[in-house]
């Protein structure tokens, strides 16, 4: 799996996940529990991961929808 997106904004992660699912690209959020532990003040970013084979296609989806990849 490769990191596609890193953000402290949960709405961006949710939107990106929905876009990827619409394109039949599987994705997985990591660091969700860490961001919950910090109390929602936005210190720790969540990361969105995709399979290595889907990474290039996923980046195109993000660029087409003007979602910054946050790296």
pLDDT score, position 55: 97
Q: How many CB atoms lie within 10 A of CB 7?
A: 19
Between CA 1 and CA 22 the distance in angstroms is 19
Question: So what's the pLDDT on residue 36?
Answer: 60
Task: Report the mean per-residue pLDDT for the chain.
Answer: 88
Torsion sign, CA atoms 9, 56, 18, 31: negative
pTM of the model: 0.82
Q: What does DSSP say about strands 46-50 and 2-7: parallel, antiparallel, or unpaired?
A: antiparallel
Pure H helices in the chain: 10-22, 32-37, 55-64
Which pLDDT belongs to residue 71? 58
């Amino acid at each position: 799996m490769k990191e596609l997106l890193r953000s402290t904004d949960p709405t961006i992660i949710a939107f990106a996940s929905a876009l990827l699912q619409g394109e039949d690209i599987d994705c997985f959020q990591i660091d969700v529990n860490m961001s919950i532990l910090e109390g929602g003040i936005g210190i720790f970013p969540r990361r969105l991961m995709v399979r290595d084979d889907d990474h290039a296609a996923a980046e195109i989806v993000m660029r087409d929808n003007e979602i910054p990849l946050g790296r």
